[in-house]
Amino acid sequence: MYEGFMAAGVAAGGQLTTTTDVENYPGFPKGISGPELMELMRDQSVHHGTTIHTETVTSVDLSQRPFRVIVSDGIDVYAHSLIIATGATAKTLSDKELKDSSVYWQRGISACAVCDGAAPVFRGKPVAVLGGGDSAIEEALFLTRYASRVHLLVRNPEKKLRASKVMQERLLANPKVKIEWCSMPIEVRGDGKLMNALVLKDTSHNHISSDDTNTRVLSVSGLFYAIGHVPNTAFLKLDSGEPQLDLDPSGYIKTIPGTSYTTVEGVFAAGDVQDKRYRQAVTAAGSGCMAALDCERWLESNGFSF
Ligand code: NDP
């Protein structure tokens, strides 16, 4: 197993290593920290005989069999089958786009309300969600269970949400949510340990300059990014940019529904790299189990022993 070395800018173990408490993974009634959960999963794999390499796979050649896997340490590995579980990376803002966002990352700023929303720092406090898609609405509604008020920051100058109508209706029906139209955070404020406010810029057509007259301060204890994810599938693309197996328009690997089969025989996909809908540790782990079973059966039926 190649677990990556700071692949997509995240430590081996993936997105869960960047979260605090995971409250919805079965078997941990009091929750478990993301890094600890990943460490336990890693130990379990090693215990059952997996050899783990802390290297990143930079590209693959699926046109030949066995498949060629090119690893960042310059070693080529050949494999009859592959399970791709490279995940997705939540989009975040840089310090250039949102001043001091790196200072308050995981000190109020998160990219996963479901993972972090129940933390004591957000309970009974006002928080903000950035985005106007289905994810943003889902996160905002989830946060209403814990926060005193949820401010949805929507940058669209035409006051339009990208989310589906049914989700918009659910959002509008919730009295705890306030939509902050034409609002883009440009600075995070806090005491150095925890954030306590955002400076918002007015993005409406009437206010295109960025001087102080077009900004306001919103007191919030949290900011949750919900501005989309990028699936980690770049390594599957040829130099021409063409993917070697079918991806959907957002770049996620297409699998045959109800299975982990991709459009290339012998290549299986599991977890967030093929799932933009559920994105939970438990659903990813379940699809990993599906891929292991599919792969094992495929190898057996093709006469490979392992
Ligand atoms: P979307 O691409 O649909 O929406 C992203 C949102 O973030 C948009 O409102 C966009 O604004 C905003 N945004 C993007 N970049 C920035 C930025 N730099 N600063 C501020 N705002 C920004 O992503 P989602 O993750 O919401 O959804 C992805 C897909 O998954 C969709 O197809 C969605 O329908 C699906 N999904 C379905 C769910 C369900 O069915 N329950 C749940 C979650 C997702 P703008 O509009 O101005 O570009």
DSSP string, 188-232: EEESSSSEEEEEEEE-STT----SGGGEEEEE-SEEEE-S-EEES
Statement: residue 15 has pLDDT above 70: yes
The rounded Å distance from CA 137 to ligand 1 centre is 9
Question: Tens digit of pLDDT for each residue in 89-139?
Answer: 989 999 999 999 999 999 999 988 887 899 999 999 999 999 999 889 999
Nearest CA to ligand 1 atom 1: 133
Statement: residue 206 has pLDDT above 90: no
Statement: residue 261 has pLDDT above 80: yes
| Residue 14: other Cβ atoms inside 10 A | 24
Q: How confident is the model at residue 17 (pLDDT cuts 50, 70, 90)?
A: confident
Assess whether the C-beta atom of 170 lies below 6 angstroms from ligand 1: no
Assess whether the C-beta atom of 135 lies below 6 angstroms from ligand 1: yes
Nearest CA to ligand 1 atom 23: 228
Assess whether the C-beta atom of 280 lies below 6 angstroms from ligand 1: no
- Which of 135, 152, 198, 252 to probe ligand 1 with, by most ligand atoms within 8 A of CB? 135
Nearest CA to ligand 1 atom 17: 227
The rounded Å distance from CA 226 to ligand 1 centre is 7
Mean pLDDT of 289-301: 97
Mean pLDDT of the chain: 93
Task: Name the catalytic one among 115, 134, 202, 272.
Answer: 115
Out of 110-124, 173-187, 256-270, least confident range: 110-124
Please give the number of the atom of ligand 1 that sits closest to the Cα of 136: 26
Q: How big is the CA angle at 88 (ends 85 and 92), to the nearest 5 degrees?
A: 160
Out of 68-77, 123-132, 165-174, 205-214, least confident range: 205-214
Given this model, what pLDDT does residue 156 score?
94
Task: Name the catalytic one among 112, 182, 275, 295.
Answer: 112
Given this model, what pLDDT does residue 116 score?
87
Q: How confident is the model at residue 209 (pLDDT cuts 50, 70, 90)?
A: low
* 73 is annotated as an active-site residue: no
Instruction: State what percent of residues in the chain have pLDDT above 90.
Output: 83
The rounded Å distance from CA 132 to ligand 1 centre is 6
Statement: residue 189 has pLDDT above 90: yes
The rounded Å distance from CA 250 to ligand 1 centre is 11
Mean pLDDT of 79-85: 98
Name the DSSP class of 252: P
Please give the number of the atom of ligand 1 that sits closest to the Cα of 276: 30
| Residue 2: other Cβ atoms inside 10 A | 17
- Distance separating alpha carbons of residues 262 and 270, to the nearest angstrom: 10
Given this model, what pLDDT does residue 8 score?
84
The rounded Å distance from CA 105 to ligand 1 centre is 20
Q: How big is the CA angle at 40 (ends 36 and 43), to the nearest 5 degrees?
A: 135
Statement: residue 286 has pLDDT above 90: yes
* 112 is annotated as an active-site residue: yes
| Residue 30: other Cβ atoms inside 10 A | 6
Nearest CA to ligand 1 atom 34: 134
| Residue 110: other Cβ atoms inside 10 A | 26
* 116 is annotated as an active-site residue: yes
Q: How big is the CA angle at 181 (ends 113 and 216), to the nearest 5 degrees?
A: 90
Name the DSSP class of 44: H
Q: Where is pLDDT greater, at 39 or 212?
A: 39
Statement: residue 208 has pLDDT above 60: no
The rounded Å distance from CA 163 to ligand 1 centre is 7
